[in-house]
Amino acid sequence: MPASMRILPHARKLVGATLFAVLVLAPATAFAQQASSDCLKGGDLFKARIGWIQKIQAMPKKHADPVLACSLFNNLSSANARVLAWAKTNKDWCSIEDNQIAGLEAESTNVSNIRGKACAAAAQFAKLKRQAEQAAKNSQDDAFSVDMHSDPLAPRVKIPPSAL
């Protein structure tokens, strides 16, 4: 074998180390990058969940729209379910502790209970509003009745016949 074709022992080790890195470490690096992107996805899920919490907290404490509250709690419940599923799936890779998952499960149960109450209130509100609109429609025949409000749940103002 000519001298130019001969591989020196230290060059052979370098080639072997390079091949080892390409064949063994590259897939491991790609796997670590995949795990890292899964952990970053969890951060996005948590941010979306926090966004729904902030919208709920921004609602007025009194005279809040029950339909809007029901909708917001439905969205928060869905966001909690996505976060919880992600946390259980990526528990080991993203170093999520059991007590954190237990806390998410407890919060999810609490949100579901509140969601049920908010949606029941929204259904009751819709029922009362329909009844008030029907009563307003039925009382339009009363010539002495004047609607002073745009809210169908507000009481109607009656003008006594003697005032006319």
- Which pair of structure tokens corresponds to residue 141? 């025949």
Of 125, 102, 115, the closest CA to residue 56 belongs to 115
pTM value is 0.61
- Distance CA(80)–CA(12), nearest Å, equals 55
pLDDT tens for residues 60-70?
888 888 899 99
pLDDT tens for residues 105-160?
999 999 999 999 999 999 999 998 888 888 777 766 555 555 555 666 666 666 66
Greatest extent of the chain over all pairs of C-alpha atoms, in Å: 127
